[in-house]
Amino acid sequence: MVTYWLIGITVAVFILQLIPALNVTNWLLFAGPYVDPTSLINAPFQPWRLLTAAFVHSVGSFWHILLNMLALWMLGRTLEPMLGRVRFLALYLISALGGSVAVALIAPFQPVVGASGAVFGLLGALLVIGRHLGANLTGIVIVLGINLLIGFIPGFQIAWQAHLGGLAIGALIGFIYARTRRLDQRGAQIGLVALTVVGLLALLLVPVLT
């Protein structure tokens, strides 16, 4: 259910992006100055862009949204039934947040769009959870490695920072889920996930302090 809702919302936003007068892409994309009041670029403080960037894609390439939504569908079919709707949604959104925070820290002036950070978060979580379950992860590792390498190829204009940030946070959330599976650990699970979000938001202070 959540997987299809995420795909549906993303596709609907993409259709709106195709209408130039609405200027949807510029309203929802992310760049570091939108969360850094001290930036030399005079940008308004708009922290919601940390998440909304995951729902907009490059209108110049249908492959961008197609590949991301295909990956979301494939990973969602495995992870959502395993985790449940709420935990899966939290994983997706927090991974997207992790990707945006990584961009803000590493390439603050680079505008980014796309669900890649969130998708890499799903991959990271699947790796960690699969390892705890004793699953064969060879295929996932190969796919992950290829996609990470593509992000570093010049000319592809891929925000590898978002990939790494989403992957790291997704793996962390997956680890939390895997280690707090019992019903009596539900409070600890919620607390650790919330602490992760707080930690990510705290990292946004780094450019300000430096």
CATH number of the structural domain spanning residue 25: 1.20.1540.10
| DSSP state letters, 47-97 | TTHHHHGGG---TT-HHHHHHHHHHHHHHHHHHHHHH-HHHHHHHHHHHHH
Which residues are annotated as catalytic? 116, 163
- pTM > 0.75: yes or no: yes
Which residue reads 């969602």 in tokens?
76
Range 172-180 average pLDDT: 95
Best CA proximity match to 56, nearest among 94, 110, 96, 95 = 96
What is the rounded distance in angstroms from the CA atom of residue 76 to the CA atom of residue 72? 6
The sign one gets for the Cα dihedral 1, 14, 24, 121 is positive
Q: By residue range, what is the domain housing residue 133?
A: 2-209
**In the predicted structure, residue 146 carries a pLDDT above the cut 70:** no
**In the predicted structure, residue 4 carries a pLDDT above the cut 90:** yes
How many structural domains comprise the chain?
Answer: 1
Asked if 46 contacts 34 with a C-beta cutoff of 8 angstroms, the reply is yes
Max mean pLDDT among 94-98, 135-139, 183-187 falls in 94-98
